Amino acid sequence: MIRHATLDDIPEIRVMIRELAAYERAVEQARATEEQLREALFGAYPAAHALIAEDDDTGETVGLALWFPRFSTWTGTRGMHLEDLYVRPHARGAGHGKALLAALAATCRRNGYDRFEWWVLAWNTPAIDFYTSLGAELLDEWKVCRLSGEPLGELAAQAPEVVDPAGEG
């Protein structure tokens, strides 16, 4: 079963995010707290949305898809960015990942989103094979850019004053 996450899922969502981070060899980077996840998913202005995969026989939570809307200046339309897709190792191969992706694809169609995009680590061959089997296109010509930590702070320190013509900020 695929369902929308609820507030009661927050502890399990955090655990699955950390499990995914461990698989991706970056568990020290998975610092999100339950409070942060609660605000991001269920606060006054949600930053993201989550779907939960449950095993039909046991009701056990076996997977997670966490996503947020994007906007393309080229198409003039919204799209979807899948931040995390995770299926617990013992539940892989049973169709949960495909069901989560299909549910997200249906959300895209229902909301008029033209694009459904996500990142995959270059070494994660099983995931790459799975995604391409679904028809996903790997965009090798694009590179992900990221500023964080000290470089982010250094660039921010160089920012000019930004004028708000409406006087709202």
Largest CA distance in the chain: 58
Report the distance separating Cα 119 and Cα 121, nearest Å: 7
Annotated catalytic, 131? yes
What single letter denotes the amino acid at residue 82? Answer: L
Side-chain-facing half-sphere of 110: CA atoms under 13 Å: 6
Catalytic residue among 23, 45, 86, 131: 131
Report the distance separating Cα 116 and Cα 5, nearest Å: 20
Kindly state the tokens that stand for 159: 């920012």
- Rounded to 5 degrees, what are φ and ψ at 72? -105, 120
Side-chain-facing half-sphere of 164: CA atoms under 13 Å: 4
Which residues are marked as active site? 131
